[in-house]
Amino acid sequence: MILRTCVLSAAIAVTLMSTSLPSAAQSAAQRAEQTANPLLGAWSTPDGVPPYDRIRPEHYEPAFDLAIAEARAQSQRIANDKTAPTFENTIEAMERAGRELSRVSSTFFTVASADATPANQAIQKAIAPKLARLSNETMLDQALFQRVDTLYKQRAELGLTPEQNRLLEQTHKRFVRAGAALPADARARVAAINEELANLGVQFGQKLLADQKANDVFLSAAEVEGLPADQLSTAAAAAEAAGKPGQYLFPATRSAAEPFLTAAPNRDAREKIWRAFSFRGDNDNANNTSAEIKRLVELRIERAKLMGADTHADFVLADSMAKTPDAAMELLMGVYQPALVRANEELADIQALAAKDGITDVQPWDWRYYAEQVRSQRFALDEAQVKQYMPLDGIVDAMFETTQKLFGLTAHERTDIPVYADGVRVFEIREADGRKVGLFYADWFARPTKRPGAWMNSIRVPNGLLGDTPIVVNNQNITPPAAGERALISLDEAQTLFHEFGHGLHGMLSTAHYPSLSGTAVSRDFVEFPSQVYEHWITEPTILQAHARNAAGEPMPKEMLESLLKAQTFNQGFSTIQQLSSAILDMRLHQLTELPADFDAGEWEAAQLRELGVPEQIGMRHRLPHFSHIFDGGYSASYYAYTWAEAMDADGFDAFKEAGNVFDPELAAKLRREVYEVGNTRDPAESYKAFRGRMPTAEALLRNRGLK
């Protein structure tokens, strides 16, 4: 997942605060503030990284206010320039504007998601409306839009390079899609909607995190009997730290819940964990997210109509590879139907096994437990034993070796870089000849203040215009090990590790000249391709043979490795239905043209699942009450993008298999050159075809999941 919470240039949507320009007296005060505030002025840190060792929460808001005022002044100078618009004095000037705001924003939002302390949450709540207001003022500024529009209409005569032309077209599109071409009253309403949406997204995210924390489950020794030792020791240490020695604490996170549901023999305990995880945001308390969901959808419907689109989904997908909701739904349903057949076959196997334990009514909290037993019998696999050969550090080494084999890049840990939280590691990524590519911050472990899920974000994007060296961040929620023990992860967590680093490479390797065309600034249904194709290498046998080792340093036994790889398509009916039901409901929700006054997200969700025929024992990967991708993560009407990109990643990896060498140097160089480096300097479909020679179909995806 790509987290897009901060703005990086005026062309992307530099935001402006609606205050007057600073007076001379204010400038003196600002200079004093700049001297005292480590966020402002020159950074003397190694490689100019954020000085997290000196930044305190009280520094952020003043820094935002000063940076916003500066960005506003810069944007107004461009808008009010009396000379005729040129590419240099308008488009390129916008690319240069707002650097201080970009720096403050990326520094703060990296922390806001990864360490959402009460202080950081208060800051986010305070600045969200300021940034939304700022974005509205810039993107709806008629003088600025007229300069962009004039150049857009003259673009054929301007003698622009292909990248400059792409930047001009994308900048113009952003203004139009922001509402700049609307009548004045509609622009004002769009601005108000955008500001309210920004506030609601923050509220949704903060409620979800609070409810997740409130849903911590403490279990007794009897309830956890039979769990693997690593889960027990971690849970015992967490409970002791929480002041409840002798008990076992399981947070309501995926990294804690899924391993428990897979391994716990105690059915009542499984139900407790499942309910805690599944009902985040859906409890009868102050953290219930239903009101935010209803209002978010209402506002998106209203804004789409103002923008001339039939629905929010139509508006969003007009700027995507899919182009229309119908095209996205065609792919989703084409995969959903065979997945449902497979899921019902899997359910029959689970019911037969559960019946031996006297269970005649298989429930959602039973599926993973009995599926693991089916897998164990069918492939002679024990998840707990497999994890003994999957230490986090070993899989990190596997990830870096893959990068070296594919792209010639090496990773070198840096201990001189200040970080924002304990446990964050920093690596310098270098070319084979030693040239620095960028810095990679790795924040892999869960903490109570971290938002759910896994994501990548950029602190600094590479570009030729400003000469910036990139800094990217990966976040995951791996359960921290007990003191003195190794962190052991599942294959699913290992794939997520590779996935997010694929995003990181996409963010670091860009050769775009302009910041707003750099790296991951591409459509949602293409941005997941570079990350998802990278996942394939974690199951490459030579990589696992070299790095999947137990505490004694012994490699994973050949029989276990072979069984693990054979089992890759096991339970794919379940996992596919979980993912696709979330994607389909996201699309259906955002194809609504109105909401009834008594709309209830939970009731609507249940009705949709019944209509789709989703087995109750499976359900959704992300239920609406905690679906942060679409309510607090920029993926509204876009969760289908993971499936769309999977059609590309499965087909794209087939190219390496067809070459007879999954590390084929010529093909790897082509993947880097045509996909990872180009950013948004051309249409994503062109990038994929430049790599593969054609567009993909769903065939490779179905084969990849074992559904064909």
What are the residue numbers of the active site? 500
In the structure encoding, which two tokens stand for residue 136, read together?
A: 């509205």
Angle at which helices 325-355 and 572-589 cross, to 10°: 140
In the structure encoding, which two tokens stand for residue 14, read together?
A: 């530099």
- Decide if 631 contacts 201 (C-beta within 8 A): yes
Task: Work out the burial of residue 392: count CB atoms within 10 Å of its CB; fewer than 13 is exposed, 13-18 middle, 19 or more buried.
Answer: buried
Residue 27 amino acid letter: S
In the structure encoding, which two tokens stand for residue 135, read together?
A: 């974005």
Distance CA 373, CA 382 (A): 8
Pick from 127, 175, 167: which is nearest to 149 by CA? 175
Within 10 angstroms of residue 45's Cβ, the number of other Cβ atoms is 16
Task: Work out the burial of residue 610: count CB atoms within 10 Å of its CB; fewer than 13 is exposed, 13-18 middle, 19 or more buried.
Answer: exposed
Distance CA 258, CA 224 (A): 14
In the structure encoding, which two tokens stand for residue 217, read together?
A: 């489950």
- b/e string for 432-445 if b means 16 or more Cβ within 10 A? eeeeebbbbbbbbb
Going edge to edge, which strands form the sheet with 436-445?
A: 410-414, 425-430, 436-445, 471-478, 455-460
What are the strands, taking DSSP E only, across 191-324? Answer: 217-219, 248-250
Please provide the distance, in angstroms rounded to a whole number, between the alpha carbons at the two ends of the chain.
Answer: 27
- Give 510's DSSP letter: -
Task: Work out the burial of residue 484: count CB atoms within 10 Å of its CB; fewer than 13 is exposed, 13-18 middle, 19 or more buried.
Answer: exposed
Distance CA 59, CA 420 (A): 14
3-state secondary structure of 601: helix
Within 10 angstroms of residue 661's Cβ, the number of other Cβ atoms is 12
What are the strands, taking DSSP E only, across 89-228? Answer: 217-219
Residue 128 amino acid letter: A
Evaluated on CA atoms 11, 17, 21, 22, the torsion sign reads negative
Please report where in the chains the tokens 């790897």 appear, as a residue.
668
Strands 425-430 and 248-250: unpaired
- Give 555's DSSP letter: B
Phi-psi region of 21 (alpha: psi -120 to 50; beta: other; left: phi over 0): beta
**Helix ranges restricted to H, 521-571:** 524-535, 541-547, 558-566
